[in-house]
Amino acid sequence: MKIRIVDTTLRDGEQRAGTALGEKDKLKIARLLDSLEIFQIEAGIPAMGGEEKRSICRMRELGLKSRISTWNRIHTGDIRHSADCRPDIVHLSAPVSDIQIRRKLDKDRNWVLQNVKRTVCYAKERGFEVTLGLEDASRADFRFLIQVIATAFLEGVDRIRYADTVGILYRKRLYEEIKGIRDKLAVQVEMHAHNDLGMAVANSIAAVKAGAEFIDCTIGGIGERAGNCNFLQFLEAARGCLGVFHGTDMEAFRETQNEILAIMAPAR
C-alpha cells in the first residue's frame, strides 16, 4: 500500500482566516515540508499575483525533492500565471456540485465540462502534468462527477482530487464514492478532506481503503473553518490502522511541525 502526501499548508492552510505568509516564510516552510518527505507541495495560487506569485516562482530555485504544484481555477488566465512559475504540476479546480456551479458561479454543468476540457488542453499543450480537482464533490451528482472525470481523462489527466469541500462526508459514503470512481475509470484518486464534523482523518483513512493513493494534508490541520486533514494525525492513524509509515520518526516530524506553526504565527 503506497500513500503519497500532498501538502496544502501553503495554499488551503494559508486560506485560514487571519493567516498571511510572505515570500521568506513560504520558502522557509517549503524547505521544512520537503524534509518531511512530502510527495507534493501545493505552493499557492500564482493568479493572486504580487508576493504570492513571486514566492511560488522562487520555490523552484530551492531544488526540493517534493514536487511543486500550483492551484488554479478552470481559467486560462490562471494557468498563464502558473506557467510563469514553472511548477511540476498544474492543479485545476472545477466546481462540480450544482450549489457551487449555479449559486456561486451562475453557470451550468455544460459550462463546467467545456471549461474543464479547454483548460486541461491548454495546460497540457504547455507541457504540464495536470491534476483535476472536483470542488464540492461530496455534494455533487455522482453521474455528473463521472462525466467531468471522463472529460478530463480523455484529455490526458490521470489523477483527480476528490474534495469534500464542506466536510460533510462520513466513512461509508466516502468509501462508496471513491470505489465507485475507481470502478468506472482508471484514474488515480487524491482525497481532500475538511474537518467540519471532526472526521477528516477518519475519512482520509477510508479513502485509502477505497484505493486513493494521494492524501491531502496540512500542518496542524490548519485551513478554512475547522481545517483540513491533520498531517501528523493522519500519519499516526495510518500507522495504527493500516500498518504503514512505521519507519517515520514521529518525534522529529513533530518538532518540524512545531517549527512550521511558529513561522505561521502572527508577528508580535
Partner 1 sequence: MKRQETRMIDRTLLEVVRRNPKADRLELLQLCKGLTGLGADLLEIDSQVLGKLVELPAESQFLMHIGKASELAACSEQGIRCCSLSAVLLNDRTLMETIRKQGMKAFVDLHAADEKELSELKVPGLPVHVDQIRIFGLDQAVDASWVMLVENLAKQLNVSIGICPGNRFFNATAIALEAVMAGLSHVTVSFAGYGGDHGLACTEEVLVAMETLHKPDTSKTFHALPAVSRCLSDATGIRIAEDKPVIGSGIFHYESGIHAAGIEKAAETYEPFAPELVGQSRKLHLGKHSGRKAVERKLIELGISCSEWEPEELLERIRKKSIELKRSLKDEEIRLVIGR
Tell me which residues touch partner 1 (CB under 8 A): 14-22, 25, 48, 50-52, 73, 99-100, 103-104, 136, 165-168, 170-172, 175, 195-199, 201-203, 205-206, 209, 221-227, 230, 233, 236-237, 240-242, 264-267
Nearer to partner 1, 21 or 153 (CB): 21
Shortest distance in whole angstroms from residue 125 CB to partner 1? 26
Shortest distance in whole angstroms from residue 266 CB to partner 1? 4
Nearer to partner 1, 155 or 235 (CB): 235
Shortest distance in whole angstroms from residue 74 CB to partner 1? 12
Shortest distance in whole angstroms from residue 102 CB to partner 1? 9
C-alpha distances out from residue 62 to 27, 55, 162, Å? 8, 11, 30
Q: How many CB atoms within 10 Å of residue 195?
A: 23
Nearer to partner 1, 37 or 224 (CB): 224
Nearer to partner 1, 153 or 199 (CB): 199
Shortest distance in whole angstroms from residue 259 CB to partner 1? 15
Nearer to partner 1, 127 or 266 (CB): 266
Nearer to partner 1, 127 or 198 (CB): 198
Are 90 and 76 in contact by the 8 Å Cβ rule? The answer is no
Q: How many CB atoms within 10 Å of residue 106?
A: 8
